[in-house]
Amino acid sequence: MPHTMFQAYLVRPENDVSLIPSWTRLDALDGEDGYVLLRAVRNTLFDTVLPPEPLRGEGLSTGVGVEQVVPSDDGSTAHAQRAVLDAPAAQRLVQNEVVSFMEKSGTAERGCIFGVSGGGDSNALAYGLRAGLPQERLFAFTIVFRDVMTQAAADRATVLCQELGIHHEVIQPDELGALLGITTSVDALYADFSEVFGSEALHFFGTFLILKTARTLASRRGCSDLAFGYNREDLLAEMLFQLVNGRQPLAYPIRPIGNERIVMPVWRIPKLVLDACHPKFSLENYRERDAHTTRQRSLAFYLGHSLDSVYPSLGLSLLDGFQRAYGDEPSQLRYDSELDVYVTELADDNRRSVVAGLLHRHFRFGNG
């Protein structure tokens, strides 16, 4: 239960009342002439929203555990339901979700490009995309650069795509520089990026490279949908970041960027379920992952993952609710034609100037 729903009072003789912090140990009250009174600060019918008994640990089961709280028919009580999804069950769930999304989104007609990392999210996405799209309208790529994507990850992605019959390109750093029109090198670009934004911003650099690569390959392949494995907590983290900065959420699960679209077929699926589809691949991916990130990103993901931990499916309910509330008027991404990037409403002139200086040092734009 949330500790902020309760107030702790130390009641002494003659109705002498003091508040005490919720973290006070009971043995710290030894010798006190009085008692502790804990009172709920809201009129809350706990039996209607929480199971009557605490959920206890169980014996060993292999798979990912999911929980749900279900009200009784008359709404007077709540019951907890648990399930364990092994790899085949998780794969079926994700594949069905992706196929249903593809049928509604029209991606088969538009063609689809997606990046595959050899980890949990993109591997699970690959199976669903292959089941939901014609082979000739689906293309995958993996870029190799430091911890953005390791060679081992690219090897796993290659094996996966060969098994599924998906056309797959592995792009090495020198090939990536030529593909994106980098005038220096990817190493030089990253060194400059780290100097400007800090050495803990590798995730953001990787996102920039992957999106720019996807857009470039989509143009060459005649595709206009870019599929990303953004999961439930990814979008919750992004949504919370937007809201605390006074902005409406960005569009999801389909995000227009010019004539192209970023599509998010697994947006409703929790990260843990995606990992359950291929446990060995997801573990290897985590072992290779760069350990550094920014505090802001850490906080956003901590809060995003906290929502379903506080109450099962709360995060999904919020995503559904915000989509209904803001789906027709999301926060917009604006195309900056000079820099060939899409920027949010948070990109003021000072931020843009910093990014422009960086990009002009490593890319050729227009007649420059």
Residue 304 in domain: yes
Instruction: Give residue-wise pLDDT tens across range 295-311.
Output: 888 899 999 999 999 99
Backbone angles phi and psi of 191, in degrees to 5: -60, -40
What one-character DSSP code corresponds to residue 26? G
pTM of the predicted protein model: 0.89
Cα→Cα distances 117→92, 242, 285, Å: 20, 27, 8
Residue 368 in domain: no
Averaged pLDDT, 81-108: 93
Residue 56 in domain: no
Which residues, including other chains, have CB under 8 Å from residue 184's CB and lie 6 or more apart?
Answer: 177, 361, 362
Do 39 and 125 reside in the same domain of the chain? Answer: no
Instruction: Give residue-wise pLDDT tens across range 190-248.
Output: 999 999 988 777 788 888 999 999 999 999 999 999 999 999 999 999 999 989 888 88
Residue 122 in domain: yes
CATH number at residue 188: 3.40.50.620
Do 40 and 110 reside in the same domain of the chain? Answer: no
Most distant CA atoms of the chain, gap in Å: 85
In the chain, the number of structural domains is 2
Do 21 and 167 reside in the same domain of the chain? Answer: no
Do 154 and 30 reside in the same domain of the chain? Answer: no
Return the SS3 of 19.
Answer: strand
- Residue 169 pairs in a beta bridge with 141
Do 170 and 286 reside in the same domain of the chain? Answer: yes
Residue 366 pLDDT greater than 70, yes or no: no
Smallest CA-to-CA distance from 90 within 38, 45, 127, 131 is with: 127
Mean of the per-residue pLDDT values for the chain?
Answer: 89
Do 9 and 117 reside in the same domain of the chain? Answer: no
Query: Are the C-beta atoms of 319 and 268 separated by less than 8 Å?
Result: yes
Residue 18 in domain: yes
Question: In this predicted model, which residue has the larger pLDDT, 359 or 281?
Answer: 359
State the residue range of the domain holding 301.
88-321+329-360
Do 110 and 181 reside in the same domain of the chain? Answer: yes
Residue 368 pLDDT greater than 60, yes or no: no
Residue 367 pLDDT greater than 60, yes or no: no
Query: Are the C-beta atoms of 239 and 248 separated by less than 8 Å?
Result: no
Residue 93 in domain: yes
Averaged pLDDT, 257-279: 93
The pLDDT-based confidence of 90 (bands split at 50, 70, 90) is very high
Do 282 and 349 reside in the same domain of the chain? Answer: yes
Do 188 and 95 reside in the same domain of the chain? Answer: yes
Residue 61 in domain: no
Do 92 and 154 reside in the same domain of the chain? Answer: yes
Residue 162 in domain: yes
Q: For residue 125, give both structure tokens.
A: 């996405």
Q: For residue 360, give both structure tokens.
A: 């002009």
Bridge pairing between strands 112-115 and 225-227: parallel
